[in-house]
Structure 1
Amino acid sequence: MPWSVGRLSTLQFNLTNRYHVSRTSMDLQRAGEEVSTGRRADVFADLGPRAAGTIKLRAREEETQNYLKSNELLGNKLSAMLTSVDAVRDQVQGVLEMALANASSPANGGHTLKLQARAAMESVVATLNIKYNGEHLFAGTQSDNAPLMRWEQTNPDTGLSPEGVAAGIVAPGITDLATAQAMAAEFDTVFASADASNPDRNFEQTFYVGSPQLDGSNQPYDRVVARLSAGQELSYGAQANDDGLRDILQGLSMLIAVDASTINDDAAYKDWMGNVIDSLSKGQEGALAISSQIGFNQQVVETAKTRLTDLSLVQQTQISAYETVDPYEAVTRMTNLETQLQASYEVAARLSSLSILNRI
């Protein structure tokens, strides 16, 4: 009966053993990484088709984090806007109180009132021209440029300044009640941007250069919109041409344009000051409404941030369920691999010490 004897050369055995040592070393390194990090070293190899789930979850989590960052920026912008509007109200309040004190006659000096209004105008314009993160907050969608012209600043598009427009209205001087009423009505027309005979004088042509209230079709112009999440948007842009802020600017302009102490007719004086006080009072009420709306928008943003934070926690938990390894299993596997590697090294060492001389 014939015998078949298989032979395995020492070289081939060494090569095979070396391959197993290399493979075991790689597996041990991978197991050590999983033990130290608590995550799978190769998610796709371990999960196979289920890896698509973690890919989708990670994409959603990245989107969620982007929304959280943008909402944080939006919250800061709204805080800056609210602070600015409240500052405008504070700046105008002193002028309104002095105007009320001088409603019937220039008891405290009309000239002083004019100077106070001029200082308030500079502060209001500077406040509403504020920039945040490179954008003018009260210019609407046209945020590249400051929305308001300074009192003596010439608008390059119309060649007029707010000071020039106001001076043109009051140039004849207020001599009687009819003149005071006519000039006040002209200020109303200009600040309503309704002067069709000379549109360059209009508020939205010379005084203000941001997004208009109405578009070419006489429809509300698009406001600044933020996307809070995948299914939620927020229109939040307060503008320097909003009614309350426009009323404030009109009242200040009327006070600056005319030194009330020079109006000698009592009826004309009372009518003029009455229109000024009405504009400033309406402006303060409108500015308060703007502040309230900004505060409401802040609450919407905070609610969205809370919801996104909760969603992120759920998503991270789901990702962890996919990618996290069992620490006890990982440690056991690492220990077994260390044992295998140690055994392979011992076999290799014993083979390397064999010699024909040991058999002689």
Structure 2
Amino acid sequence: MSISTLSLITAQRTTILRSQEQIRDAEKEVSTGRHADVGASLGATTGQAVTLRVELSSVDSQRTSNNLIGVRLDSMQDVLSGLQKSAQSFNSALVTGQTASVDISTLVTQANAGLEQLFGALNTATNGQYLFAGTNTSEQPSVYNNLQDYEGSPAQEALLQSVQDYKNNVDSTFSLATATQTQMEDFLNSSFASLFDYDPDNPSDADASTWKSLWSNSNSDPVLNKITSSESIDVSANANLGAFRDLLQGYAMMAGLGTQNLSEGARNALVSKASSLTSGAVSGLIGLQGDIGLRQERLEAANDRLDSKKAVVKASISSLEDVDVYEASTRVTMLTTQLEAAYSLTSKLQGLSLLNYL
């Protein structure tokens, strides 16, 4: 049986093509650390690798979502911290105002600054969503963005109108200029306070409607986000909470009524009530910060579990898909040597001719 030069050359070309393909696969394995063709290498266990990849993607997606939740909770803490510090400062001034001769205009100035800060803080947004709007995250929670919006607003007019309403409906002798401390206290605890009443369990009652129409676009429903496949946390707060309403009432009370002609009894009652409201607001804000802190702890614990799960899943994937990079590199060297030899042999075969022997 004879073997032609053509058949030898064809066989070498086939060897060269196969070697080139094997080198490409080996080089890919060296650069990626994975089988060049995972499906072909794993065979029946390919489905297991695919399932693990899906699980890894799910963990990564949840971790990304949790990072956004973390930013949201951090932003809420920053806002609350700023409000709490300002409220504490205002309350200290009010306490001093009850025991010493403090110009009430100073308290009015602080109250206006507090209103400006509170309006802006309640309308804080991250990633296009308002933080203190409950589930109504696309609409600003506070009706007013700043003090300029508030000046001459229905809310400000309602505060001043409450004086006349109290006189018409409760005490016909009532006047800010002549009121006793007892009269002023009763007014502040009734007609004035009703403008800030809100019961989240009964949001359709008359007082709640007044609060919503004058001050708030927020609802009181929680925003629940998953932090693991089986656990959710509330990532929201809302402008209807008692701490915000008390703080707003304390600021608005001093800003709106402190500029009026007040009797000594009315002044004393005003400063005392504003102090009581602000003190309660400070406690409420601290409590809310603590509650959000607990949510942050739960989020951190969930992230730790996700990170641990990711490490386990990645290890399982590696056990299926990873290759020995050193072995793959050695294979590249060996195959390259074989390819060079094949090139050399093919070149010699192509140079063979009967004419060389005639």
* Global fold match (TM > 0.5): yes
Identity of aligned residues (%): 27
- Among 158, 183, 186, which residue is 1:181 paired with? 186
Decide whether the 8 Å contact of 1:149 with 1:208 is kept in 2. Answer: yes
Q: Structure 2: state its 5+ residue gaps.
A: 168-174
- Among 304, 307, 314, which residue is 2:305 paired with? 307
Distance 1:333 1:13 in 2: 25
What number of residue pairs does the alignment pair up? Answer: 341
* Shift, 1:198, TM fit: 6.0
Decide whether the 8 Å contact of 1:152 with 1:162 is kept in 2. Answer: no
* Shift, 1:319, TM fit: 1.5
Give TM-score scaled by structure 1 length: 0.85
CA spacing shift, 1:201–1:260, aligned 2, 3 Å: farther
Decide whether the 8 Å contact of 1:161 with 1:207 is kept in 2. Answer: no
Which stretch has the larger CA shift, 284-293 or 48-57? 48-57
1:141 alignment partner, SS class: coil
Which stretch has the larger CA shift, 128-137 or 335-344? 335-344
Which stretch has the larger CA shift, 269-278 or 118-127? 269-278
1:85 alignment partner, SS class: helix
Aligned to 2:66: 71
* Shift, 1:57, TM fit: 1.4
Decide whether the 8 Å contact of 2:253 with 2:274 is kept in 1. Answer: yes
* Shift, 1:289, TM fit: 0.3
What does 1:233-244 align with in structure 2 at a 5 Å threshold?
233-244=232-243
Give TM-score scaled by structure 2 length: 0.85
Distance 1:326 1:300 in 2: 40
Aligned to 1:52: 47
Q: Is residue 167 of structure 1 aligned with residue 151 of structure 2?
A: no
Q: Is residue 206 of structure 1 aligned with residue 214 of structure 2?
A: yes
- Among 101, 112, 116, which residue is 2:106 paired with? 112
What does 1:136-285 align with in structure 2 at a 5 Å threshold?
136-150=130-144, 153=149, 161-171=154-164, 173-174=175-176, 175-176=179-180, 177-178=182-183, 180-193=185-198, 202-211=210-219, 213=220, 222-259=221-258, 262-264=261-263, 266=265, 268-285=266-283
Decide whether the 8 Å contact of 1:99 with 1:277 is kept in 2. Answer: yes
CA spacing shift, 1:323–1:128, aligned 2, 3 Å: same
Distance 2:33 2:89 in 1: 64
Aligned to 1:84: 79
- Among 43, 53, 78, which residue is 2:38 paired with? 43
Deviation string, structure 1 residues 249-287 (Cα, Å, up to 9, x no partner): 111121122127733253x44444333222111111101
Partner letter of residue 319 of structure 1?
Answer: I
Distance 1:270 1:75 in 2: 44
Distance 1:77 1:160 in 2: 31
CA spacing shift, 1:201–1:255, aligned 2, 3 Å: farther
Distance 1:103 1:79 in 2: 36
Distance 1:269 1:324 in 2: 78
Distance 1:197 1:182 in 2: 21
Structure with the higher fraction of residues in helix conformation? 2
